[in-house]
Structure formats: C-alpha cells, structure tokens
Amino acid sequence: MGLIEKVFSLLGPAIHTDWGVHPADRKRPAADSPVRGLPLPERLHVPLQQHIGAAARPIMLVGQTVLKGQLIAEAQGATSAAVHAPTSGIVTAIGDISAPHPSGLSFSAVTIESDGADRWADTGASVDPFSLPPQEIARRVAAAGVVGLGGATFPSALKLGLGLRAKIHTLILNGGECEPYLSCDDRLMRDCATEIVDGIRIMLHATGATRALVGIEDNKPEAIASMTAAAHDFPDIKVRSVPARYPMGSEKHLFSELTGQEVPADGRTTDLGALVHNVGTAWAVHEALRQGRPLVERLVTLNGGALERPGNIRVPIGTLVEDVLAFAGLRSEPARLVMGGPMMGNRLPHARVPVVKGTSGILALTAAEAASLEPGPCIRCSTCVRACPVGLLPLEMSARIGVDDLNGAVALGLKDCIACGCCSYVCPSRIPLVHYFNHAKGELAAQGRAQLRNEAAKRLAAARIERLAREAQEKTAAAARRKAERAAQKAAEKAAAEAAQQAAQPAAEETTT
Amino acid sequence: MIAAILSVTLLGIALGFALGFAARKFAVETDARVAEIGAMMPGTNCGQCGYPGCPGAAAAIAAGEATVTVCPPGGKALATALAAKLGIAADLSGVSDEGPKIATIAEEICIGCCRCIKECPTDAIVGAAKQIHAVMREACTGCGNCVDRCPTEAVKMEPVPVTLQHWVWPKPQAKVEQAWA
C-alpha cells in the first residue's frame, strides 16, 4: 500500500457507505398473512418470452392436450429458457397477448384451457442430485425452465454453468428483497426454508463453490430465524442479516455488504469468485431436482392500498392479472397497476396481462400512493448524488440527456447505472431522473443496433458487387467455352469432310484406272 | 557484366528518385474526410440522395454541398454521427422521424417478374421468375429502390414493427430542460 493510500485509509473507507434510500417498507400485513392458493383459472396464457434472451419455440399444436409440467415450448439459441404447461388442459391458441410491460406491446403466448383436473405429467423417478455431475444438474435446471426469480429472469442453468467455468468459491443467496411492498421471498423463506436450503446445497454442488452466504435484510426477523434453523446442520451455509436499505437486493451491493469487497465498474461478481442467485431460484432448483417439477407456478405478493385482502398467493404462470386482482378483491379502482416493486417494477397498461416467471408482485396502488407530481427545475442540491448506490452524478447525467448529449452521459458513467430509482425517489424537484437514464440506455442500444445493421448492409452490398462481377465473369467464360466448342465442332466437321473427301478420291481414282 | 549491373542499378535509383519527386510534386490533394465519411455511409449506393452512390454523397458532404441529412436510409442516427464528425450542428428538423422502414411484398399481387430483385443493393429480395418474391427483413436497408420497379405495385415500404426488445422509453417530457439551458 502506498503512502497516499495509507493516509486516505486513515480518513475512512474508500466506498461511500451512506448510499441508497430508506423508503417505508409497507411489507406488512401482507407479509404476515399465510400463503393462499389461487383457484385454478379457466384459461392460462403462457408467454414464450419470460426470460432474458431468445423466446422459446412452441412445440405444441392447437387442439393438443397437455398435462401439468409438460414441455410446451423449448429453448432456442444459447440464451433461452424452456416453458412448461402450468396446468392440464387443451391448447386452444398460440397467439399474441399484451405483455406486462409499460409499452403495452404484445408478445406470443400459448393459451391453455384448463380441464380442472390439474393432472401432473410423469415427472420421472427422483435421483439423488449429489450423485449427478454438475453439468447434469445444470442440464436438468435448464430442462425445468428455471430462471432467476429475483426479477431479472436470467436463465439459471447458464448462470450455474458460468459459475463452474469461472471457478467461483462463494455462492451468494439474495434474500434482500429490498423493494417496498414485496414479501414473496420473505414468505418463501419463512415457509419453505428447508427446501431453499436443499436447493442451495444442490447449487453448491452444481457450481463447485465451497460456501454459501444467505443475505437477508434485518426487517425480516422471522425469515432469518427460519433460514438459520434450516441451515443449522450445514456449516457451509451461513445466514447473515444485512441492514435494511434500498437497493440492498442489487447483487453487487449485497455482495459488497457480505464480503466487504467492491465489484469493479465494468466487472461482475464472478470476477471476484462469487455467484449471486435469488432464494426463490434455490427453491425452484430444489423443486426441479428433487420432485422433477418444472417452474410452472410462483409466489406473488399482492399488495397496495386498493386491495381488499393483500397477501402472498401461489399463482400458476400465465394467469391474467385481472383474475389475481379479482381473487384479492378491489377496494377501489386502482390508480396504477405495477408488476414488481414500486421502485423498479413495470407499470402495467391494463390488467389483461399474464403473470410471468419474473412476477414478484402485483401492486394495485391508490391515487395517494401513486402520486405523480409535476417536475420542477433542478436546484442542484445533490441529494441524488448522495443517494446513488453506484456513486454517479444523476443530476449531471440527466442534464446531458436532456439536451441529447448521450455520449456526455456515458462519460459520466451512465452504463454503471443500475436503474434502481433512488435518485428519482429523493429528488425534491420530482425530476424523473431514472426515466432519463432508461431512455438514454434504450437510445444507446438502438444506436448500437443501427450500427450493426449498417455494417451488415455494407457487407451485403459488397457481397452483391462481388456476385455481379462473378456472374459477369462466368458469363464471359461460358461464352468463350461455347465459342471454343463451336470452333472445335466446326473443325471436327471440316476434318471429317476432308477425310471423307480423301476417302472418296482414291476410290474415284481407282474407278478411273 | 559489372557495367551492366551498375548501369541498371543506377538507372533504378535515378528513376526511383524521379518517381518519388513526381509523387510529391504533382500529388492530387484529396480530402481525407471523404474516405472517413464514406466509411460511415450505408455503402449500398442506392442513389436516393441524388449523388452517384455513397462515395459521391460523401464527397458532397465533405465539400459542404450536401447536408448531413442527405441519406434517407442512414436516418437520424447517421445524421447525428456525421454532424459530430464534421463538428457542425445537425438540423434534424428535415429528417422524418418515422423510424426505419423496410420493403414488404404483397404476395397476392406479386407476379414474379424479378425486376425488384435486380434493383436491390443488398440482395434482400429472394424469388425466381414466375415465383412469388419475398423480402428478407434483416437484410433490407429500406432504400425503396424496388418500389418504383414493381409493375403491379406489390412492393410497399412499411415501418419496422416495434417489438418488446426494441422498445425505448420515450424521453421525459418536461419543462425542466429550459431551466438547465
């Protein structure tokens, strides 16, 4: 350590420690009410794109009968996930349905009309997962269509494979659940701690990691108690309480909190030997390996002031949000519907959208909860700078994006923004800062795509010019060949004629003599 | 023998110097930016700008005869990139912001005449004589050259549909920018 660094280390830690915000968590009473099951809906609309990557390819035909847990769409491409039937019934349509996305655009879904029996497909004989090689576990996790249940929905099998390749030593289980209102992970840890711990052990085996750290925010004492009890017999699994603070559930922040190391700006936790998975994913891995059950339902938090009976319910994938809302009962017409948490969730265009694998919560917010105030001018108070968990300058970045200077924003670190929304939350002028960043990131991605397209067009144009030249050359070559053939034919004819003549001459001579 | 080697060597050296001198003395000055701008253009030589292909347009832009918004397939993205390259402010008001377009062929009126295929600068149209043609969406640059060639008006330019993967959050509409200005 150099002298200057020594002096600075005396002054305090290099990373600023007062990042993030402390919104009112509003998790109770929903978190405390027991889990309920949703009555089986008549129709389920199972989307083919519920994960990051390429959409799954449907393998069913309309009119076919399916059993619960049967594969209905297979993964296609390197980054993709399989989709399974959430109940038994008949495939009645494969078509478009509105996506749970603020754009209101639609995506493809398989519609299954339930037969009411909810019959499972043959899930196969269960084997001891610890007798399987790690690659086989990843393969089974992929076959079960498991994706990250924390919200990012990255295919879990790929992540396990990545961990194995990157030779990670620590598996971090994210039980932070820092978003206000949400309590599905909390509820799962309270009720299914044994299953989660078993899933963690399988994941340890699959990644080759030597220890697992479960990080749970200290506003969930029941979950911490239940997980600690479940992990008691396994010394390689440690349950740690972390301070409740948003966005503690961000993988880089939870990692820093648990290990004391900071992830570099353009790096990942795997660079430092750690892989982060959600606790819900551990449960899904347990279900996939021990029961042979694919991911066809999940725990969803129903919360918000407009609901009669908030709580956590078990929802089959593909259930319409309106069915879920009807089950929970609406006290008043919600002013805003949100899928996910209030900080990073997606505002829904309407309630006729399906629940997907990444749906952690459905919030029906009243006008008072969803107050959207008119933004004022920036007063340069720098509250957002203190709140930013990655140490960026939101006010400066948004000023640049405001005048379309995207490169200026990138130079200030736009690409490190995790879109947590802390800046917008604390802004006294109500400037939609994170909205600027989301816009700019989308614009940059679109520019990148345009650039790729441009390059592809250039290649195609060059290929065409080359093709035209080749064709012209082939044409002349063919013409020359034909000419040569004709000439050869003529020569042959001539030679034949001459030979005939010569043959005729001696004969004539003979006759004359 | 030695005399022959010497004379040829000397001749070579003398001619080399002469050529080098000529290359410097009579060098034709070209604008280095033309090549750089040419590399940024789509390179399909579709001719919509009215200049002889992309190199012609690049020369015109470098000379200041054409605006940076001259290239319709390049669109807004190219215009801003060119403006940044030339260090000028781009007047984007003239650029239609309809987004990229691609050609589509109405199968029911396509007669399979192959005229559009010959026109396409990126070979994006597939088909054969008396067979219905189709446009490969990924390869189409939206230059629109095929539209006029179609005798049955089967080719139309359609905006590229926005998908979930390509959707971009709109810029927040606020009066806040004025406060910053």
Evaluate whether A60 touches A94 at the Cβ level (below 8 Å). Answer: yes
Residue of A nearest to B45 (CA): A461
**CB distance B177–A402 less than 8 Å?**
yes
Residue B11 to chain A, least CA–CA distance (Å)? 40
CA distance A293 to A133: 19
Fold match between B32-94 and B101-159? no
Probe site for chain B from A458, A467, A468, A470 (most B CB atoms < 10 A): A458
Evaluate whether B144 touches A402 at the Cβ level (below 8 Å). Answer: no
Question: Are A261 and A343 found together in one domain?
Answer: yes
Which residue bears the tokens 């509003």? A26
pLDDT at A6: 63
Full residue range of the structural domain in which residue A409 is found: 373-473
pLDDT > 50? residue B181: no
Higher pLDDT among residues A489 and A16, named by residue: A489
Question: Are A176 and A257 found together in one domain?
Answer: yes
Q: What is the residue-averaged pLDDT of chain B?
A: 85
pLDDT at B62: 87
pLDDT at A453: 84
Whether A495 maps to a domain, the answer reads no
> Tell me: the pLDDT tens digits for A308-336?
999 999 999 999 999 999 999 999 999 99
pLDDT > 50? residue A139: yes
Question: Are A355 and A389 found together in one domain?
Answer: no
pLDDT at A1: 47
Nearest CA among A314, A296, A320 for reference residue A43: A320
pLDDT > 50? residue B176: no
pLDDT at A59: 94
Q: List, as one string, the DSSP characters of A343-365.
A: TTPEEPS-S--B--TT--EEEEE
pLDDT at A509: 60
Question: Are A209 and A327 found together in one domain?
Answer: yes
The full set of domain ranges for chain B reads: 1-29, 32-94, 101-159
**CB distance B180–A403 less than 8 Å?**
yes
In A218-255, where do the E strands start and end? 237-242
**Chain B residues closer than 8 Å to A461 by CB:** 42-45, 121-122
Nearest CA among A389, A392, A402, A395 for reference residue A428: A395
Question: Are A178 and A254 found together in one domain?
Answer: yes
Q: What is the residue-averaged pLDDT of chain A?
A: 91
Evaluate whether A56 touches A317 at the Cβ level (below 8 Å). Answer: no
pLDDT > 80? residue A235: yes
- In sequence order, the β-bridge partners of residue A20 are none
pLDDT at B16: 95
**CB distance A461–B164 less than 8 Å?**
no
Most confident range, picked from A7-11, A326-330, B172-176: A326-330
CA distance A262 to A41: 46
pLDDT > 50? residue A478: yes
pLDDT at A28: 87
Partner B contacted by A446 (CB < 8 A): yes
- Maximum separation of any 2 CA atoms in chain B, in Å: 89
pLDDT at B94: 61
Whether A282 maps to a domain, the answer reads yes
Backbone angles phi, psi at A37, to 5 degrees: -100, 145
**CB distance B123–A460 less than 8 Å?**
yes
- If one looks up domain B101-159 in CATH, what number appears? 3.30.70.20
Residue A476 to chain B, least CA–CA distance (Å)? 19
CA distance A62 to A56: 17
Partner B contacted by A454 (CB < 8 A): yes
**CB distance B174–A99 less than 8 Å?**
no
Residue type, A329: G
Chain A to chain B Cβ contacts (< 8 Å): 96
Confidence of residue A507 (pLDDT cuts 50, 70, 90): low
Average pLDDT over residues A368-379: 87
State which H helix or E strand residue A302 sits in: strand A297-303
Partner B contacted by A449 (CB < 8 A): yes
pLDDT at B180: 46
Whether A35 maps to a domain, the answer reads no
Question: Are A317 and A353 found together in one domain?
Answer: yes
Q: How far is CA A319 from CA A287, A300, A450, B40, in A?
A: 21, 11, 36, 48
pLDDT > 50? residue A117: yes
CA distance A290 to A273: 27
Task: Please state the domain count of chain A.
Answer: 2
Is this structure's pTM higher than 0.90? no
Evaluate whether A350 touches A98 at the Cβ level (below 8 Å). Answer: yes
Predicted complex ipTM: 0.79
**Chain A residues closer than 8 Å to B42 by CB:** 454, 457-458, 461
CA distance B83 to B34: 14
Q: How far is CA B135 from CA A368, B103, B154, in A?
A: 51, 7, 12
Question: Are A297 and A393 found together in one domain?
Answer: no
Whether A486 maps to a domain, the answer reads no
Last residue of a domain, one of A361, A382, A398: A361
Confidence of residue A420 (pLDDT cuts 50, 70, 90): very high
- In sequence order, the β-bridge partners of residue B100 are none
Question: Are A333 and A436 found together in one domain?
Answer: no
Residue A437 to chain B, least CA–CA distance (Å)? 9
Residue B40 to chain A, least CA–CA distance (Å)? 9
User: Strands B101-105 and B155-159, how do they pair?
Assistant: antiparallel
Higher pLDDT among residues B44 and B96, named by residue: B44
Which residue bears the tokens 């219905």? B132
Cis peptide before A247 (omega within 30 of 0): yes
Partner B contacted by A399 (CB < 8 A): yes
- If one looks up domain B32-94 in CATH, what number appears? 1.10.15.40
> Tell me: the pLDDT tens digits for A70-83?
999 999 988 999 99
Question: Are A279 and A334 found together in one domain?
Answer: yes
Residue A435 to chain B, least CA–CA distance (Å)? 7
Nearest CA among A325, A340, A336, A344 for reference residue A366: A336
Which residue bears the tokens 């393998």? A59
Alpha helices in A342-432 (DSSP H): 383-387, 394-402, 406-411, 422-426
**CB distance B177–A431 less than 8 Å?**
no
**Chain A residues closer than 8 Å to B48 by CB:** none
Whether A49 maps to a domain, the answer reads no
Minimum-distance CB partner of B44 among A436, A442, A457 = A457
Handedness of CA B49, B50, B51, B54 (dihedral sign): positive
CA distance A87 to A37: 14
What is the per-residue burial (b if ≥16 Cβ within 10 Å, else e) of A219-252? Answer: bbeebbebbbebbeeeeebebbbbebbbbbbbbb
The residues of B whose Cβ lies within 8 A of any Cβ of A are: 42-45, 73-75, 77-78, 100, 120-124, 138-139, 141, 162-164, 166-172, 174-177, 179-181
* End-to-end CA separation in angstroms for chain B: 82
pLDDT at A197: 96
pLDDT > 80? residue A9: no
Question: Are A392 and A452 found together in one domain?
Answer: yes
Question: Are A334 and A460 found together in one domain?
Answer: no
